[in-house]
Structure 1
Amino acid sequence: MPLHYYSFQTRCAHWLLARISLFQSVCLLLWLGERAYHETEPPIHPWIVYTYIGSGLIASTGITSRFLTRLSLTIILLSQLYITYVFCLEKRLGYSKCIRARISLRCLTTIGVYFRLLGVNGYNDKRKQTDSHNNDNQVDQLHKIKPTTSVYAFGLTIMSVSLCLLSIFCIPVEIFQLDRDIQLTEINSTLILSMDNYISKLLSLILGICLLTAGIIYSIPVIIHDHFLLNNTFSYKNYLFQFADYLIGFSFLILSFIRDCNFNYWHIKGCEFWLEIRVLLENITILLGIFVINDLLINNSVNSLNEKYLKTLKVNSKSLKSQ
């Protein structure tokens, strides 16, 4: 469907999501420039930086012009995989495990969103192309769509893992205490409220439960193996995925405003200003991604229902004429 048929909010989300790699490239340069004040060599080789920025520019142009969209999105996905590896495992960065965990888990969630975006197009193509009156055509279309639906399910699995880990670091309960230092650092980052404040603990508990619930819902494709993507979009599982996306939207909005915007706290913990901006960009990418995914699936479902209704009307009109 052409983009001008969508609502203003959806077009804004598409516009921002198509250009998010440009913002991330600029943020990377500013982050490296900020680190240049206290180190002689960059933690990333210059040619890798040039490649990252060039690929981001090309991919953003491709998505904006709607030319080779899937290839452009794949390039952004590969760039995101590399930057996640850098933040998580590159020793020259010198970050504590708390900083590494919060950045890499958000980057990992973004990777899951990109995989889901790659899976949406194939899912829509399948629904539009399948002919229920031709069994051979059904087999061919199922063969074509299977890798794409697997990509969508793989994205859900990645998001399930990252969200469950994020929830463990948020819930202020000892039974969920995977790492005490990371948990205390995350909870203490709440703006205005202190660790001893009951409101802070309650808020952390609510955020942790929301993230954990969303992670468990996303794990359904792993726990229950079936062709859930080949069913009606408004099936109970897709309702669950939509509910999980709402939970993520609520959780990351709260995290962005009350924790990730606490620049003074994270600066004391060793996080540079532009690295914290990168964390906020990851949050924005996640929010935009789940909004676009849900909007595409819902619009596709409505269009499919309209197409079926029109086909039924045509068949009925032909039968009346023949009579």
Structure 2
Amino acid sequence: MSIVVKWKKPVIKFCLFILARFPFINALTLLMLLGERAAHESYPPLNPKVIYLHLGLFVVCGALMSAFYQAKSMALIYAGQLLYFSYNAYTNTAMGQDWLRVLIASRHFACAGVYLGIAYLTDQASGKQLRHISYAVLGAYSLSIIMTLNDNQEAYLAFTRHFPLADVTYFLMMVILGVCAVALFSGPTRFLCRAFFVLSLLLTLMSFFIDCRLSYWTNWKKVHYWNVIRLIADQICIVLGLVLFGFHHYPGGTTKIKS
């Protein structure tokens, strides 16, 4: 335990350093995706004015969060953008097939939960409402993975084809994801740390075995290359957020983050 406590502050600082700059990654991958789609589309899936607006906000949010200036406000604005992209991905048929839009929407939604939690960490005196909402969003994402693997044929096939001991692993994943979701929704504080770490490990494994099979998604399922990269980037964002919150709740006192 002493070793983990020793690494607590450095890990939290590292996670915040990367997460504060994720809006830049979002802007870059969005531009690359739009450029890839432009090769065979005459009109982008979003209104160009909306795209320019969000790209500008991505840059502003990333720059100010990186400088820890108005970090809470910027985290909330960026979370709002992610919620918009989540809604748009789910409802906009131009974004792709139904099963793909569900995956994109759920990950944007979970990323929004991460930044709501960061907004709380930068101003813990403002109350715990943001923390509860953030953890509930991440709990909902955990449940959405269960629903996706059960209802989304493409996601299920990708899981069974690429995970070792797929049948056993599938059952264990369902149970553990459900337990983590319950812990994030209403679990005592002492269980939150374990839930965050376990969920971050599961998502890392899923991303490694499923998302990183680029040839499977691009060649077999005809998903745009930069769409897959965005899905991987979102999963990295979620995992870093879970690690951040896990270390924040690790025994030895919570860590105060300056804003």
Q: TM-score, normalised by structure 2?
A: 0.87
Distance 1:194 1:288, change over 3 A: closer
Distance 1:11 1:79, change over 3 A: same
Between the aligned partners of 1:300 and 1:273, the Cα distance in structure 2 is 43
Distance 1:149 1:303, change over 3 A: closer
**Alignment pair present for 1:185 and 2:139:** no
Deviating beyond 6 angstroms after TM superposition, the runs of 4 or more aligned structure 1 residues are none
Q: Report the AA paired with residue 207 of structure 2.
A: S
Q: Report the AA paired with residue 140 of structure 2.
A: V
Which residue does the alignment assign to 1:49?
Answer: 51
By how many angstroms is 1:194 displaced?
3.3
Which residue does the alignment assign to 2:131?
Answer: 152
The answer to whether the 8 A contact 1:167-1:209 is kept is no
Once structures 1 and 2 are overlaid, which stretch shifts more, 53-62 or 113-122?
A: 113-122
The answer to whether the 8 A contact 2:64-2:74 is kept is yes
Which residue does the alignment assign to 1:239?
Answer: 190
User: Which is higher, the Rg of structure 1 or of structure 2?
Assistant: 1
**Alignment pair present for 1:35 and 2:37:** yes
The answer to whether the 8 A contact 1:120-1:297 is kept is no
Please, what is the CA RMSD of the aligned residues? Answer: 2.4
Between the aligned partners of 1:38 and 1:200, the Cα distance in structure 2 is 37
Number of residues paired by the alignment?
249
**Alignment pair present for 1:116 and 2:67:** no
Q: Percent of aligned pairs with the same residue? A: 18
Between the aligned partners of 1:199 and 1:27, the Cα distance in structure 2 is 33
1:283 is aligned, of 235, 240, 243, to 235
Question: What secondary structure is seen at the aligned counterpart in 1 of 2:205?
Answer: helix
Q: Report the AA paired with residue 247 of structure 2.
A: D
Q: Report the AA paired with residue 99 of structure 1.
A: L
Question: What secondary structure is seen at the aligned counterpart in 2 of 1:31?
Answer: helix
Which residue does the alignment assign to 1:103?
Answer: 104
Q: Report the AA paired with residue 287 of structure 1.
A: V
Between the aligned partners of 2:41 and 2:195, the Cα distance in structure 1 is 42
By how many angstroms is 1:117 displaced?
2.0
By how many angstroms is 1:122 displaced?
3.8
Between the aligned partners of 2:24 and 2:81, the Cα distance in structure 1 is 12
Which residue does the alignment assign to 2:203?
Answer: 252
Which residue does the alignment assign to 1:208?
Answer: 174
Per-residue deviation, residues 105-152 of structure 1 (Å, max 9, x unmatched): 1221112222222223443x3xxxxxxxxxxxxxxxxxxx4xx31121
The answer to whether the 8 A contact 2:33-2:227 is kept is yes
Q: Unpaired segments of 5 or more residues in structure 1?
A: 126-144, 171-176, 222-236, 305-323
Q: Report the AA paired with residue 162 of structure 1.
A: Y
Which residue does the alignment assign to 2:65?
Answer: 63
Once structures 1 and 2 are overlaid, which stretch shifts more, 200-209 or 281-290?
A: 200-209
Distance 1:32 1:300, change over 3 A: farther
**Alignment pair present for 1:293 and 2:259:** no
Between the aligned partners of 1:301 and 1:9, the Cα distance in structure 2 is 15
Which residue does the alignment assign to 1:174?
Answer: none
Question: What secondary structure is seen at the aligned counterpart in 1 of 2:44?
Answer: coil
Distance 1:259 1:6, change over 3 A: closer
The answer to whether the 8 A contact 1:167-1:211 is kept is yes
Question: What secondary structure is seen at the aligned counterpart in 1 of 2:161?
Answer: coil
Between the aligned partners of 1:200 and 1:294, the Cα distance in structure 2 is 28
The answer to whether the 8 A contact 2:193-2:247 is kept is no
**Alignment pair present for 1:194 and 2:161:** yes
Which residue does the alignment assign to 1:11?
Answer: 13
The answer to whether the 8 A contact 1:84-1:107 is kept is yes
